[in-house]
Amino acid sequence: MNSQNDSNVSPLSAPISRRGALCALATLTLGLIPATAVAATGVRVLKNGRIEVTLAKNPALKEVGGVVRIDNVNGRSIALVRTAKGKKGFVALDLRCTHEGTLVQQDGTSWFCPNHGAKFAIAGDLEIGPARTPLRKLRIQATSKVVTIS
Ligand code: FES
């Protein structure tokens, strides 16, 4: 009798164990939700509209590959990326996708656009379309203590 009932249960309607549900949730979470950049601290908007980022307050930028994100400053979302050691080892990116302007999200060592799937390297280079150009780089000036973004 039990085997008769079992034959009527389709794999899609069978009860899911708690362990199975947790495994599925972990898989979905790891696969679909990207890592996010740390929000920058020590950010100051100057009278001329430039954005000053104090390096000592952003430990993520000590290491090459570190990223901080500055959102909603002068209507923009910006990432400051450490690409090399030294004062010239920074890139500031406008995080609007160059396809249709959707904000890109960090996904490990890349940026991806949730709108149509474009992908950019962490320093902004285009990897996968439909965007045709890299993320826009913003002008920066750096000292050993501060990065100023124009
Ligand atoms: S808006 Fe980013 S891929 Fe289309």
Tell which one of 98, 116, 135, 136 to mutate to probe ligand 1, the residue whose CB is within 8 A of the most ligand atoms: 116
Identify the CATH class of 38-149.
mainly beta
Phi, psi of 56 (to 5 degrees): -60, -25
Do the Cβ atoms of 98 and 85 come closer than 8 Å?
no
pLDDT greater than 60 at residue 19: no
pLDDT digits (tens, 9 = 90+) for 52-100: 999 999 999 999 999 999 998 888 999 999 999 998 999 999 999 999 9
Tell which one of 113, 126, 132 to mutate to probe ligand 1, the residue whose CB is within 8 A of the most ligand atoms: 113
pLDDT digits (tens, 9 = 90+) for 106-125: 999 999 999 999 999 999 99
Distance, CA of 20 to CA of 104 (rounded, Å)? 32
Here the tokens at position 89 are 């080892």
Ligand 1 is surrounded, with C-beta below 6 A, by 97, 99-100, 102, 113, 115-118, 130-131
Q: What is the pTM of this model?
A: 0.75
Domain borders along the chain are: 2-32, 38-149
pLDDT at 36: 62
Select, from the ranges 3-7, 16-20, 59-63, 101-105, the one with the highest average predicted confidence (pLDDT).
101-105
